[in-house]
Amino acid sequence: SIASSDFLRHVESMAQLPYGAGKMSHLNAVILGEALATEENDPVFPSPDFSAQALISSPQQYMNMYKRSVEDPAGFWSDIASSFYWKKKWNPMVYLENLDVKKGTIKIEWFKEGTTNICYNALDRHIEAGRGDKIAIYWEGNEPDQDGKLTYTELLAKVCQLANYLKHVGVRKGDAVIIYLPMLMELPIAMLACARIGAVHSVVFAGFSADSLAQRIMDCKPKIVLTCNAVCRGSKVILLKDIVDSALVECTKNGCSVGLCLTFENQSALSRGATKWQDGRDVWWQNVVEKFPNKCEVEWVDSEDPLFLLYTSGSTGKPKGVLHTTGGYMVYTATTFKYAFDYKAPDIYWCTADCGWITGHSYVTYGPLLNGATVIVFEGAPNHPSPGRCWDIVDKYKVTIFYTAPTLVRSLMREGNEFVTRYSRKSLRVLGSVGEPINPSAWRWFYNVVGNGQCPISDTWWQTETGGFMITPLPGAWPQKPGSATLPFFGVEPVLVDEKGVEIDGECSGYLCIKKSWPGAFRTLYGDHERYETTYFKPFPGYYFSGDGCSRDKDGYYWLTGRVDDVINVSGHRIGTAEVESALVSHPHCAEAAVVGVEHEVKGQGIYAFVTLVEGVPYSEELRKCLILTVRNQIGAFAAPDKIHWAPGLPKTRSGKIMRRILRKIAARQLDELGDTSTLADPSVVEQLIALTDK
């Protein structure tokens, strides 16, 4: 732990951060590159070397930009937007918003009447600037010897061929296209091809079941579905085309027929001959697309024309079709990518998310390509053929920015350090985390072991709805605290409100809301503007409500505590499941934990904790007591779990999200109400859990 003069200088400037009532609370700071983060929750300061090369190199620089972004959003964002190509400039208003249900319909518009095209800005613009030979995509398959690459020029040619094919089969501006593909290069190609002709893509994560796919198809009624015959995931082969077939049968039964299914032949997984086929409806991608010209005129669209629909689950009912439009989303994803990862042209960037989720939309495809970055698209599983695969890929491509989810960090952490340390990883300079709060012990492992104490971690808080990062560290600008997403991005005005929707200031906890619109905000739920208003704007009139709980510390740092629907109320105490989990996994023998509320006779709700253990550690009565004691010690006796349920694995989606819905049912012994388990990465986990229910 170091307290240098640089540190003191930083602490001084901290006082000027938003809500920064004073100096950093901890004086035991760690400086990037000079020491590892210890067990205390010490802040980690950027080193002078890192800061000197960073885009935002001091708290003061951040403050100046932040101040302007909220005092003059129109000026701030139109300056940034001007660096993109617009066929026609937006009207002078820049933006128009109403976030207050009491004042009428909720409305958000940015750069209205400006015409542009996001595909043009992501590809042609770089090529015209002479950067066409730069690698746009490195593709890495399921097996380490499967790979490929495309330069910007090659990528554009592929996008244009597909765009021409889509036009040829009658897809027009505004038409929906469903994309059900794994992480092949064809997935971003398909997204960009739609964008090029003004069609609205809706990517459905290729781990969704036929029923879920059918539901989405029936909601947006596409002219065509793009898919592939099969995909390998680890050692399994999944027949994606069969899933599409069943979904399309289901749709036809419900009066929604899709006439065309363009199928990419993924030879490494399955040959053509072995693929079920319906003549007339099914077409092999490779048979037709390559015959089309590799140049395709751009369809110039209004900034507020829809770019894509992405279905996300609500707390109840059918999935919500989150709708994003073109101009604001373009400017926002590009800008957040650049600053939150301190992106520079030589960087090699890898985000482990699948394009089936918002992270893959904004930070595999659009954000990076809009910056002219080199992106890795990885089709396989991060633990195949061994838990060292990620670091093998990092070394193979000399990855400099690595962006992943806490759940992956924790599951790799569980395998032991040797799988990490046997690889060099010396190319890495920035790490990122997304999807859930990252518990401090996983943060430290990521920082110390993966990053060797050399890489800042951008813990980015955002949502499908927000389009891009909302609260995120800017590496090099200010100290980080393990587990905190730190401070708001430019133009974002987060507020914490109480039960009644009243803003609370200073050091406090509350519901996280956003006060003003930002360019990347979603504009509606497809076909259901009323649900949009009810879910997000009615709970706290005047604000966008995120659905997350959050606290702010005395330095002004934000600490996300999880969905408020995941908050447990035990004897009148509100306990974030994430808090209890973080405590449990801080025990050296606990690898992962998932906590849910269960009905409790006396306390209202009790805490039910599923835990997985570090490889090789047996579960015992002694360990159970130890885990409970750890929680008592870290949070308080009221937070001690009522039940520890030892689990060999937790039910997760392919993107790594723990399916709490299923855990709640198991905890409540409602075993006949488990619902759809088909999207789990490994559905057999559920049976194992049930078998262990009373152990």
Among 436, 493, 579, 581, binds ligand WTA (CB under 6 A): 436
Q: Does 460 bind ligand WTA (CB under 6 A)?
A: yes
Spatial distance between the Cα atoms of 287 and 277, rounded to a whole number of angstroms = 14
CB-nearer residue toward ligand WTA: 436 or 555? 436
CB of 543 to ligand WTA, least distance (A): 15
Q: Judged by CB under 6 A, which stretch of 69-77, 413-421, 526-534, 544-552 contacts ligand WTA?
A: 544-552
Among 383, 452, 463, 551, binds ligand WTA (CB under 6 A): 463
CB of 587 to ligand WTA, least distance (A): 21
Q: Judged by CB under 6 A, which stretch of 324-332, 454-462, 497-505, 586-594 contacts ligand WTA?
A: 454-462
Residues 6+ apart with CB under 8 A from 196: 117, 119, 120, 159, 160, 163, 296, 298, 299
Q: Does 329 bind ligand WTA (CB under 6 A)?
A: no
CB-nearer residue toward ligand WTA: 242 or 528? 528
Q: Does 354 bind ligand WTA (CB under 6 A)?
A: no
Spatial distance between the Cα atoms of 131 and 575, rounded to a whole number of angstroms = 52
Size of the site for ligand WTA (CB under 6 A): 22
Render the burial of 16-32: b for 16+ CB within 10 Å, e for the rest. ebebbeeebebeebbbb
Q: How far is CA 396 from CA 21, 77, 390, 393, 409, in A?
A: 45, 38, 10, 5, 20
Q: Judged by CB under 6 A, which stretch of 82-90, 247-255, 555-563, 586-594 contacts ligand WTA?
A: 555-563
Site pattern 201..220 for ligand WTA (x: CB under 6 A): --------------------
CB-nearer residue toward ligand WTA: 352 or 460? 460
Q: Does 581 bind ligand WTA (CB under 6 A)?
A: no
* Count of other CB atoms within 10 angstroms of residue 423: 17
Burial environment of residue 273 by CB neighbours within 10 A (0 to 12, 13 to 18, 19 or more): exposed
In this structure, are residues 490 and 66 in contact, taking their beta carbons and an 8 Å threshold?
A: yes
CB of 216 to ligand WTA, least distance (A): 16
CB of 470 to ligand WTA, least distance (A): 9
Alpha helices in 416-449 (DSSP H): 418-421, 440-445
Q: Prior bond to 368 cis, omega within 30?
A: no
Q: Which of 642, 666, 644, 416 is nearest to 685 (CA)?
A: 666
Spatial distance between the Cα atoms of 46 and 44, rounded to a whole number of angstroms = 7
CB of 336 to ligand WTA, least distance (A): 11
Q: Does 547 bind ligand WTA (CB under 6 A)?
A: yes
In this structure, are residues 409 and 482 in contact, taking their beta carbons and an 8 Å threshold?
A: no
Q: Does 462 bind ligand WTA (CB under 6 A)?
A: yes
433: β partners? 404, 459
Read off the DSSP letter of residue 488: B
CB-nearer residue toward ligand WTA: 333 or 517? 333
Question: Any idea how long the chain is?
Answer: 695
Site pattern 391..430 for ligand WTA (x: CB under 6 A): ----------------------------------------
CB of 223 to ligand WTA, least distance (A): 27
CB of 133 to ligand WTA, least distance (A): 33
Among 118, 137, 340, 358, binds ligand WTA (CB under 6 A): 358
Residue with tokens 């497809």: 526
**Two tokens, residue 540:** 């706290």
CB-nearer residue toward ligand WTA: 382 or 483? 483
CB-nearer residue toward ligand WTA: 434 or 580? 434
Residues 469-508 that bind ligand WTA (CB under 6 A): 485
First to last CA, the chain: 43
Q: Does 521 bind ligand WTA (CB under 6 A)?
A: no
Site pattern 99..128 for ligand WTA (x: CB under 6 A): ------------------------------
CB of 36 to ligand WTA, least distance (A): 22
Spatial distance between the Cα atoms of 273 and 233, rounded to a whole number of angstroms = 21
CB-nearer residue toward ligand WTA: 567 or 692? 567
Q: Which one of the listed residues 565, 672, 676, 694 is annotated catalytic? A: 565
Residues 359-388 that bind ligand WTA (CB under 6 A): 359
Among 107, 173, 563, 624, binds ligand WTA (CB under 6 A): 563
What backbone torsions phi and psi does residue 494 show, to the nearest 5 degrees? -75, 145
CB of 125 to ligand WTA, least distance (A): 26
Q: Judged by CB under 6 A, which stretch of 111-119, 221-229, 235-243, 434-442 contacts ligand WTA?
A: 434-442
Active site residue 565: yes
Put residue 372 in one of left, alpha, beta given phi > 0 → left and psi -120 to 50 → alpha: left
375: β partners? 137, 349
Among 214, 560, 680, 681, binds ligand WTA (CB under 6 A): 560
What backbone torsions phi and psi does residue 323 show, to the nearest 5 degrees? -105, 125
CB of 546 to ligand WTA, least distance (A): 6
Q: Does 312 bind ligand WTA (CB under 6 A)?
A: yes
Residue with tokens 């101040």: 67
* Count of other CB atoms within 10 angstroms of residue 694: 6
Among 61, 227, 441, 464, binds ligand WTA (CB under 6 A): 464
Spatial distance between the Cα atoms of 292 and 126, rounded to a whole number of angstroms = 23
The dihedral through the CA atoms of 691, 692, 694, 695 has a sign that is: positive
Q: Does 459 bind ligand WTA (CB under 6 A)?
A: yes
In this structure, are residues 340 and 472 in contact, taking their beta carbons and an 8 Å threshold?
A: yes
Bridge pairing between strands 494-497 and 503-504: antiparallel
CB of 464 to ligand WTA, least distance (A): 3
* Count of other CB atoms within 10 angstroms of residue 102: 9
- Helix H or strand E segment including 154: helix 152-168
Q: Does 437 bind ligand WTA (CB under 6 A)?
A: yes
Among 434, 457, 492, 580, binds ligand WTA (CB under 6 A): 434
**Two tokens, residue 246:** 């069943």
Residues that bind ligand WTA (CB under 6 A): 312, 357-359, 433-437, 459-464, 485, 546-548, 560, 562-563
Catalytic residues, by residue number, are 565
